[in-house]
Amino acid sequence: MFHEIAELLEAFSQSHLIEDLKQCNPEELLGCLEQLKGWTLEDIRFQKASWEGREKKLTFDPFTDPALNVSGSRGTQKSAALFLAGGQGSRLGFDGPKGCYPVLGKSLFERHCEKIEGNAPVAILTSLLNHQETLSFFEKRNFFGLQKLSFFSQDTLPLLDENGRWFWCAAGKIATGPDGNGSVFAALEKSGVLQRFEEEGIETVHVVPVDNPLADPFDPELASFHEESGADLSFKCIRLEESEEPMGRLVRMDGKLAIAEFAELSEEQRKANRYANTGLLLFDLSLMRLLAKQKFPLHWAWRSAWKAERFIVD
């Protein structure tokens, strides 16, 4: 087992970790091997290439002409709701899944679920960090009365130290983090939830960040706009009064509408682009099927280690 792990670490260009394996017991070695087999050489090469090109600056033109809402009526297409809930509540000072964070006596999950009819199809994206804890949270509360609730998990990627190398977070365990909500399409397909939605005749999917307690999981205005405009993907934006609000911005890149993350924008670019992404999206299910086959780019941020994430807005 030791030699098999060493060969994988060599193939992943992480041979500096091999010496530490000598201190691991058989159970720790087995866990390490299972973890390493969860990544392909293609995955790791893609991460390495992204890391080496991470300082590339974005160039784009300002976006100044958002479409207005078409009407306030409810769309007629059959829809499902999908909550992005793979993150932890650490930045909120909360120990547990972000969706369990209490707001005025109710968890974020409860505040969303109480707006949904019991037989509406709902999916919740978790991560390896919180999947079981999230599932247990819902089980103890009888799933808040929802009858068509699915849970599926996104993948993880190794974290990097200041020198761009892997490191241990425990004996025989590589430090990892969720690979971002941009992996939701591949995870939706891999879990079988995408196929189940198709079999149920779902046409559109509302995507909602779990940390927005004011969101309507089945927003009628957004559904109406999406249907009447004939779009494959629609989203809600707001115009910011203050340029330093930490929100991603709508921009034009190569003549196409895109979203740039706040951390990737200079002060001048933030001032020039005031239309912000709320994270509230509506997808045609057929587009999600196509996106499940795409390789989304990685974005890098330092959070006590270098973390790579895919963004759904890419």
Query: H or E element: which one contains 276?
Result: strand 275-284
> For the chain, give me the number of helices (H) and strands (E)?
10, 17
Average pLDDT over residues 140-156: 95
pLDDT for res 100: 96
Average pLDDT over residues 284-290: 97
Query: pLDDT confidence of 41, banded at 50, 70, 90?
Result: very high
Q: Tens of pLDDT along 185-231?
A: 999 999 999 999 999 999 999 999 999 999 999 999 999 999 998 99
Q: Tens of pLDDT along 160-171?
A: 999 999 999 999
Q: Which among 214, 187, 208 is positioned nearest to 84, based on CA atoms?
A: 208
Three-state secondary structure call for residue 295 = coil
CB atoms within 10 A of CB 120: 17
pLDDT for res 292: 95
Residues 66, 72, 78, 84: is their CA dihedral positive or negative?
positive
Strands annotated E in 74-142:
79-84, 102-103, 106-107, 121-126
Q: Is the pLDDT of residue 295 over 80?
A: yes
Q: Is the pLDDT of residue 302 over 90?
A: no
Q: At what angle do helices 2-11 and 26-36 cross, to 10 degrees?
A: 30
CB atoms within 10 A of CB 229: 12
Q: Which among 95, 90, 175 is positioned nearest to 133, based on CA atoms?
A: 95
Q: Is the pLDDT of residue 72 over 60?
A: no
pLDDT for res 314: 84
Query: Cα–Cα distance between 127 and 85 in angstroms, integer?
Result: 8
Q: Is the pLDDT of residue 284 over 90?
A: yes
Q: Is the pLDDT of residue 29 over 70?
A: yes
Whose tokens are 């960040």? That residue is 209
pLDDT for res 71: 59
Q: Is the pLDDT of residue 73 over 80?
A: no
Q: Is the pLDDT of residue 69 over 70?
A: no
Q: Tens of pLDDT along 118-142?
A: 899 999 999 988 999 999 999 999 9
Percent of the chain with pLDDT over 70: 96
Query: pLDDT confidence of 48, banded at 50, 70, 90?
Result: very high
